[in-house]
Chains A and B, each alone.
Chain A
Amino acid sequence: DGGITQSPKYLFRKEGQNVTLSCEQNLNHDAMYWYRQDPGQGLRLIYYSQIVNDFQKGDIAEGYSVSREKKESFPLTVTSAQKNPTAFYLCASRAGGLGETQYFGPGTRLLVL
């Protein structure tokens, strides 16, 4: 089945540790996105990528890093510089075209120990 997979479903981070959230899509979509959701807040964009080997910062990129070495993969690293990483993280992808919708993965919940 075509879709977006995110792993793991739950992730625990120790203080000072970097962790990487996986996002893979087999929809052959060009663009991929990472969002963060906190209780009572909407979706906030962390990073996005429209093409392999290129990505742009979103609204809250500080403390995060990404790579886009393959079209189907867009991993997000939460670095130790991110002081408040506890949140729900959603990955999404989109094909080209003005009327194309965005498809979301199931999400990863990150908790700090």
Chain B
Amino acid sequence: ILNVEQSPQSLHVQEGDSTNFTCSFPSSNFYALHWYRWETAKSPEALFVMTLNGDEKKKGRISATLNTKEGYSYLYIKGSQPEDSATYLCALGGSYRGSTLGRLYFGRGTQLTVWP
């Protein structure tokens, strides 16, 4: 089992604040790093998949960076809004028998609450 750590466990911010979370993972045998957003009463929704060291992805006010050599990824939210309130999950993609369809190793998530 690969250990994927996320911090902080929870975060409360005011509307308009910018925030960031960390995902740490073993840097050896890296394949892919996934970020998901999981809103209450909904299914997890994919935000980004990153595969290369130095990758940066952006989707609206949300962006992510990846450092595979040191084993971490940051997720940034600029100008948080109440609708950003959700649990943000990161997951490390694994390989299986040479296939890229191996399992994902999920962290426990960072629960973000944005107050109006």
Contact = CB atoms under 8 A, between A and B. Distances in A.
B55 to A, nearest CB: 10
Given A41-B108, A42-B109, A59-B1, A98 B100 contact: yes
Contacts of A103: 46
A105 B43 contact: yes
Given A59-B1, A102-B91, A106-B43, 4 more contacts: A42-B89, A50-B99, A99-B49, A101-B49
Interface of A: 30-31, 33, 35, 41-43, 45, 48, 50, 56, 58-59, 90, 94, 96-107
Interface of B: 1, 31-32, 34, 36, 42-46, 49, 51, 89, 91, 93, 96, 99-104, 106-109
28 contacts: A31-B101, A35-B106, A41-B108, A42-B106, A42-B107, A42-B108, A43-B89, A43-B106, A45-B104, A58-B103, A96-B101, A97-B100, A98-B31, A98-B32, A98-B51, A98-B93, A99-B32, A99-B51, A100-B49, A101-B34, A101-B46, A102-B34, A102-B36, A102-B46, A102-B91, A104-B43, A104-B44, A104-B45
